[in-house]
Amino acid sequence: MATKIPGYHGQLLEIDLSTKSVKKVDLNPDLARKYIGGRAMGGRMLLDAYGTNWGKIDPLSPEAQLFVLAGPYVDFIGCKTNFVFKSPQTNGIVGSQGSGDFIHELRFSGYDGIIFKGKASSPVYVTIFDDKVEIKDASKLWGKEIPETHKMIVEEYGNYTSQYYIGPAGENLVRYACAVTEWYRAAGRGGSGAVMGSKNLKAIVARGTGAAPAVADQKKLNDLMEWARVNLPVVRASTREYGTSGGIFRTGNVSSSEPVKNWQSEWHDQYQIQGQFFAGDQWLRRYWSDYGCTVACSKLGRVKSGKRVGLIAELPDYEAGALEGTNFGIFDINEMLYATLRPDDLGFDLISVGNVCGWACEAQEKGILTAADLGGIQLKWGEADGFVKLMDLIAKRQGEIPKLLGEGLGPTVRKLGKGAEFAMITKDMEWGAHGARSLKDKNEVSYPVSAHGGDHMSNAAVSYASDGKTVAYAREDGFFRDSTGICSFQGLTRDQEIEWLQAITGFGITKDQVEKEMAINWGTMMRVSLLLAGWRYKDDVNPPRNYEPLPDGPYKGMKVDKTIEETKKQQFFAAHLWDKEGVPSSEALKKAGLESFESVIAPIRAKA
């Protein structure tokens, strides 16, 4: 009998791929109350599952677990699926979010999430149709790229199913491969696709015909949903009109914080890549959304002329347009669309692979790599074909250097002993397309204290002038939203988000509790995983390039100030009750309910 918790079905599916067994597991109400759902709840579940043996668990081994979780906003105003796992990039906890309808279908089937254990002896996929859960042979799907995988599943089960699947990058255990849904959407960061691939899990397919969970105050929720339907499209009008594509010009030209040619610059004046040009020249479908989203920022584009004529791809969104566009020196919108499509087809985290390929181009410029190292490919800024060919080699692990690049930039520069000075990584995770040197996007400590490493969505979206304590509180925006299942672009204020949480769950959680207690404790939880993964204070830094001055643009000469970085870092640590090297105190562990980790954290603290 499922546990009764407002806003939840109260049960999870536990699927052991080694034994091909399936069972239902009750959701602990105390866990839901303290961690809400999604990223935070999954992180705690994972830390509890591995315990003090965290450092001994290989994230790509059968012993590793993969959680696919909802938050309580899902089916109402949230549409995010949370993949929570030990990252094969950082070895810490990663919560990676993807959009689409999959999580709704899972909830309509009666579940708040899935726990995957073990490893199948051969490729499989899982179908979840209400109470009927099956593990099926995926030999016909294995080796297929994302579009063909999607088509084959839809042909078998129909358009009303929703799926997550992996491409060749995940099958071949590229450490930054990701799980993809609806062709172009992904749980992008940290290596969810590699974890699925390590389990021989090609796809998860769901279709539910049941009801959404019962909530604490249905009348209040109905009122909130009606308000959102009428008002949020207006509040988020710019996002609705152009999606995040509008940032491809603005972030580079105005904020001077967009990667250009592997972050050698962060500014450009290429007006032809403004959102209205994508809208006029490419977009076929606008105002497209997932179930539960009122903003409808997605777009579908098609190249109408030239050598890429007929090519169809989504948007591109900002991260793709920046890291497979400006980062490659590409300022032609048709070539940009082409370059952003291929990583989706192969199942890459396009942020990581964009950084990796950009680094490879600069490495060739500097004589560290040759065309022979890359299978005869000579990369050139502004020419998409070479970058796309390199992605194919990396996905297939063909050639010594492409195979190494599939491990990520951290392992690559350590193996080669060269190129670290222009590798944009923090804790082995490649950076999102938001620079810190201009101080108009991210700040000095955004990435050094990020819960995930180089992930732009797990650090603080606050003014560059904010002190470290403010950064600590503001960073928790991501924790809260990823745990409830709401999109960061939905447009609710924090007070409104709390109002929704109360109507759905009735937990009585306040804004101060979320920002200054719960999320601070969640931060300690994430820090424990990073420490047990081997990361230390010396790793809480920006990449070397951030200490170089910007070469051009309105903020020419600006760079990250190490003294200010250190001051804010110490303020951030203090806000969490961590010591000067970022090791949680006994009090911090107790507040976070992690006393059982004192035995492994104390020795780290003693050496700090």
Per-residue pLDDT tens digits for 425-451: 999 999 999 999 999 988 899 899 998
Q: Which two structure tokens, joined as six digits, stand for 197?
A: 């691939």
537: left (phi over 0), alpha (psi -120 to 50) or beta: alpha
- Residue 595 pLDDT grade (very low, low, confident, very high; cuts 50, 70, 90): very high
Q: What is the dihedral of CA 30, 34, 40, 44, to 10 degrees?
A: -50
pLDDT of residue 287: 79
Lowest mean pLDDT among 230-239, 422-431, 574-583: 230-239
One-character DSSP codes across 546-589: GGSPP-SSTTTT----HHHHHHHHHHHHHHTTB-TTSPBPHHHH
466 pLDDT higher than 80: no
Q: Where are the beta strands (DSSP E) in 264-335?
A: 283-288, 298-302, 312-314
C-alpha–C-alpha distance, residues 370 and 344, integer Å: 27
Q: Which two tokens stand for residue 225?
A: 């949903």
DSSP letter for 382, please: T
Q: How far apart are CA 79 and CA 74, in angstroms?
A: 5
In this predicted model, what pLDDT tens digit does every residue of 485-530 receive, in sequence order?
Answer: 998 888 899 899 999 999 999 999 999 898 888 988 999 999 999 9
- What is the structure's pLDDT at 271? 86
Higher-confidence residue of 458 and 419: namely 419
Q: If you average pLDDT over every residue of the chain, what do you get?
A: 93
Domains of the chain: 11-207 (3.60.9.10), 218-423 (1.10.569.10), 466-607 (1.10.599.10)
Decide if pLDDT at 288 tops 90. Answer: no
Distance in angstroms between the alpha carbons of the first and the last residue of the chain: 48
Q: To the nearest whole percent, how much of the chain has pLDDT over 90?
A: 79
pLDDT tens figures, 195-225: 999 999 999 999 999 999 999 999 999 999 9
Q: How confident is the model at residue 476 (pLDDT cuts 50, 70, 90)?
A: low
Residue type for 516, please? K
pLDDT tens track for 131-180: 999 999 999 999 999 999 999 999 999 999 999 999 999 999 999 999 99
Give strand pairing partners of 404.
none
What's the rounded mean pLDDT across residues 317-332? 96
In terms of pLDDT, which residue wins out, 333 or 16?
16
Q: What is the pLDDT of residues 109-142, one digit of tens each?
A: 999 999 999 999 999 999 999 999 999 999 999 9
- Confidence category of residue 296, pLDDT binned at 50, 70, 90: confident
The first and second tokens of residue 245, run together, are 């594509």
- Work out the average pLDDT over 251-264: 96
Q: How high is the pLDDT of residue 70?
A: 98
> Which of the pair, 278 or 522, is modelled with greater confidence?
522
CA-CA distance, 431 to 421, in Å (whole number)?
A: 14
pLDDT at 475 over 70: no
Name 180's bridge partners: 165, 186
Side chain identity at 210, as an amino acid letter?
A: G
Contact assessment for residue 213 and residue 502, using Cβ atoms and an 8 Å cutoff: no
pTM of the model: 0.96
DSSP of 193-257: HHHHHHTTEEEEEEE--SPPPP-S-HHHHHHHHHHHHHHHHHHTHHHHHHGGGGHHHHHHHTS--
At position 232, the amino acid (one-letter code) is L
